[in-house]
Amino acid sequence: MEEQLKIDFEKKLKDFSYSDQEKKFKETNFKEFLKNGFPNRKLENWKFSDLNQIIKNNIGELTFYNDYKKENQIDKIELISELEHNKIIIVDGKIEKIDFKFEDKDKIDVLVEQSEETIKENINSLINLNNAFSNKFCKIIIKKNYSLKKPLIIYHSTNKNTQSKNTNSRIDFKLEENACLRLIDIFKDNSEKNFLNIYYNFELDKSSILKNYKIDKAINNNVKYSYNNVKQEANSISETFILSSGSKFFKNEINCDLQGQHSSAFVNGIFDLDDENHHEIKSNINHLVENTKSYQLVKSVLEKKSKAVYQGKIFVSSEAQKTDGYQLSNAILLSENSEFNAKPELEIYADDVKCSHGSSSGSLDENSIFYLMSRGLNYKEAKKLLINGFLLDVIEKITDEEIKNLIKDLLGVKQ
Amino acid sequence: MLKINNLSAKIENKSILQDFKLEINPGEVHAIMGPNGSGKSTLSNILSGKKGYDVTGEVLFENNDLFSLETEERAHKGIFLAFQYPLEIPGVNTNVFLKTSLNAIKKARGEKELDAIQFLKLVKEKAKELKFDEEKLGRQLNVGFSGGEKKKNEILQMSILNPKLSILDETDSGLDIDALKTVADGVNALRKKNNSFLIITHYQRLLEYIKPDFVHVLMNGKIIKSGGPELALELEKKGYENIN
């Protein structure tokens, strides 16, 4: 793999004339990745999902070079028709289109220069890989007091003939004071056996609101990793909802730094898994100042040999008095071979806090099934009604009604 | 309508019903009374298709072999069990559940399913008759309902589904006197030439409001005595130990 990486990285550097700063940034990240490689189970964060093995078993040898000069076809990508939206289309890691057609143009800036701050970051080896191989820098700024009129949908797609490739995409967002963004991620996989690595960096200024809904519903054989890095100033709110279902493997990692008072973070998720799919949600909620709040709810319905992992961490620094942190996970195992792993972590250094966690897993309640069947529903209908009921309270946590309905439609839980 | 011949039931080799016999004709109301552990709930479970019992013997419902029918098929044919302990189903709206249930049965019978407006009209009418709080219809099924509300909800389901044979498994337990009367009114409203009832109870109390045609005493998995409504009164006076 190392040889391939070096060849592909050389090729990439030749493609563009990078500034010295950019070049240094990419080279530093590349070296870090070469040193550490793909994460494996020796790392605590990856002990339930050994990505090195997962890539070997599902993809084999990867290549890393993507020709960003090539224009990808985007007219065949099926767009969401149920709701009006702005869009960004990413194909094989390359942003092909940015379209804010519903918005006031002077309220949104798209920057391509990289800021000093991001250059120093060293989060994990996959972010190093992303920084080394992703295309040009892109930062979207939502101006002060501006709420986008329509949601922004980011379509993540792969080309039909792309195979055994690693694709990397990164977008930075800044929500200025009192700005509001509703962001939906949708996956349109047109090819198999690729590793998609997606990195979002969010700066939430005072009183801004970010709602990010990640929808992985369509069945596909790709391996995916997504990292959201969210830094939150006073009174800001971040709401993340993850529907984790269709991909072969998907790990969603959410890092929230609550660094302004009265900021809050909500992370809710559904694992709806079948076959041998293996998905994970890893959250780090860092309560760094007084009076911050976090809430996490994850529900799983697991068929066949599927496996779900939820590692939820709540960190409370010694300054972060009056923290309110909560997390809960419930799983229904529909087969003896399905597996749910929960690792709740509370690391608390302040003494005046309210933090709790809980986790449960079990099978579908046979008495409830019997009750529903005695009212004329067949086994399949009874099971569906119970599962929908089980998932409904996570869906009800979605604060955007339009998007809530879209997700209810996708899951077939409309009542 | 219902013929039970030599029904025996075991659960993990423990015998619960032995050579049980009963025949219910259209329009009849039968009461089965018995002490705890006499096999009353087992009987209602077996009739409605609950798994986990080893059975021998024969049960015919309108000449269909009941044991060849799945739980939901029995419901389609018109058997209804009012549960002793109705289950709480989180996340499932009561109205949605009632409509799904009614339409599943209608569909199986080849009848026209009700649309939302027709259904709401029916359910409101029935809820009013049973003094069932309409607001509860919008809530999750039985979640946060009191014991009495859960039992009333069973009777509401019964009156909406309009079954041929209703089995009431200790529906009176946990009801105060007003709720008991409402439940009895609901049952009596359904009493017609062709609707039959099997009422399972500890006490004679419910039978003051729902007059049975026959009373049977169940002890140790067998009917030891059958008679008219007067048998219930005799039981109340003498207790199960001294009846013969």
Cβ within 8 Å, pair A375-B92 = no
Residues of A in contact with B81 (CB under 8 A): 374
Name the percent of chain A lying above pLDDT 90: 90
- In this prediction, residue A1 carries a pLDDT of 84
Residue B28 confidence (pLDDT) above 80: yes
In tens, the pLDDT along A90-129 reads 999 999 999 999 999 999 999 987 776 667 788 999 999 9
Nearest partner of A188 among A216, A211, A152, A166, judged by Cα:
A216
Which residues is B158 bridged to in the sheet?
A: none
In tens, the pLDDT along A333-360 reads 999 999 999 999 999 999 999 999 999 9
Q: Is A362 within 8 Å of chain B by CB?
A: no
- In this prediction, residue A16 carries a pLDDT of 79
Q: Report the mean per-residue pLDDT for chain A.
A: 95
- In this prediction, residue A117 carries a pLDDT of 67
- In this prediction, residue B57 carries a pLDDT of 96
- In this prediction, residue A18 carries a pLDDT of 84
Residue A378 confidence (pLDDT) above 80: yes
Give me the mean pLDDT over the B132-145 stretch: 94
- In this prediction, residue A322 carries a pLDDT of 98
pLDDT band at B244 (very low <50, low <70, confident <90, very high): low
In tens, the pLDDT along A208-245 reads 999 999 999 999 999 999 999 999 999 999 999 999 99
Residue A404 burial (CB < 10 Å; 0-12/13-18/19+)? Answer: middle
In tens, the pLDDT along A278-316 reads 999 999 999 999 999 999 999 999 999 999 999 999 999
Long-range CB contacts for residues B152-156, cutoff 8 Å, separation at least 24: B152/B179, B152/B182, B152/B183, B153/B86, B153/B94, B154/B82, B154/B83, B154/B86, B155/B82, B155/B130, B155/B182, B155/B183, B155/B186, B155/B187, B156/B98, B156/B123, B156/B126, B156/B127, B156/B130, B156/B132, B156/B186
Give me the mean pLDDT over the A24-46 stretch: 95
Residue of chain B nearest A372, judged by CA positions? B101
- Determine the distance from the C-alpha atom of residue A415 to the mean position of all C-alpha atoms in its chain, rounded to a whole number: 28
Q: How far apart are CA B207 and CA B211, in angstroms?
A: 5
Q: What is the DSSP letter of B86?
A: P
Give me the mean pLDDT over the A394-413 stretch: 93
Task: Identify the H or E element spanning B19.
Answer: strand B14-24
Tokens read off for A349: 């250094």
Residues of A in contact with B78 (CB under 8 A): none
Residue of chain A nearest B75, judged by CA positions? A376
Nearest partner of A281 among A265, A263, A264, A300, judged by Cα:
A300
Answer with the residue of higher pLDDT: A113 or B88. Answer: B88
Q: How far apart are CA B230 and CA B213, in angstroms?
A: 10
Concatenate the DSSP letters of all residues of A184-226 into one string: EEEEE--SSS-EEEEEEEEEE-TT-EEEEEEEE-S----EEEE
Q: Is A390 within 8 Å of chain B by CB?
A: yes
Give me the mean pLDDT over the B38-59 stretch: 94
Q: Is B143 within 8 Å of chain A by CB?
A: no
In the structure, how many helices (H) and strands (E) does chain B have? 7, 12
Nearest Cα of chain B lies from the Cα of A377 at a distance, in angstroms, of 6
In tens, the pLDDT along A173-216 reads 999 999 999 999 999 999 999 999 999 999 999 999 999 999 99
- In this prediction, residue A247 carries a pLDDT of 98
Residue A19 confidence (pLDDT) above 90: no
Give me the mean pLDDT over the B114-143 stretch: 94
Give me the mean pLDDT over the A78-86 stretch: 94
Cβ within 8 Å, pair B49-A374 = yes
- In this prediction, residue A283 carries a pLDDT of 98
Residue B63 confidence (pLDDT) above 90: yes
Q: For B105, which of A372, A376, A390 is closest by C-beta distance?
A: A376
Which of A373, A386, A388, A414 is the mutation pick for testing B, counting most B CBs within 10 A?
A: A373
CB–CB contacts below 8 A, A to B: 79
All structural domains of chain B, each given as residue ranges with its CATH number in brackets, are 2-242 (3.40.50.300)
- In this prediction, residue A206 carries a pLDDT of 98
Q: Is A414 within 8 Å of chain B by CB?
A: no
Which of A369, A372, A383, A396 is the mutation pick for testing B, counting most B CBs within 10 A?
A: A372
Residue A415 confidence (pLDDT) above 70: no
Of the ranges A257-261, B178-182, B240-244, which one carries the lowest mean pLDDT score?
Answer: B240-244
Residues of B in contact with A391 (CB under 8 A): 91
pLDDT band at A414 (very low <50, low <70, confident <90, very high): low
pLDDT band at A140 (very low <50, low <70, confident <90, very high): very high
Residues of A in contact with B155 (CB under 8 A): none
Q: For A392, which of B51, B75, B91 is closest by C-beta distance?
A: B91
Q: How far apart are CA A246 and CA B96, in angstroms?
A: 28
Concatenate the DSSP letters of all residues of A309-343 into one string: EEEEEEEE-TT-TT-EEEEEEEEEE-STT-EEEEE
Residue of chain A nearest B161, judged by CA positions? A375
Residue of chain A nearest B163, judged by CA positions? A375
Give me the mean pLDDT over the B94-103 stretch: 96
Residues of B in contact with A408 (CB under 8 A): none
pLDDT band at A137 (very low <50, low <70, confident <90, very high): confident
- In this prediction, residue B166 carries a pLDDT of 97
Domain residue spans in chain A? 39-119+134-364, 365-415
Which residues is B4 bridged to in the sheet?
A: B22, B59
Give me the mean pLDDT over the B119-129 stretch: 95
Tokens read off for A98: 């940015």
Torsion angles phi and psi, residue A377, rounded to 5: -85, 140
In tens, the pLDDT along B163-178 reads 999 999 999 988 889 8
Tokens read off for A35: 């040193």
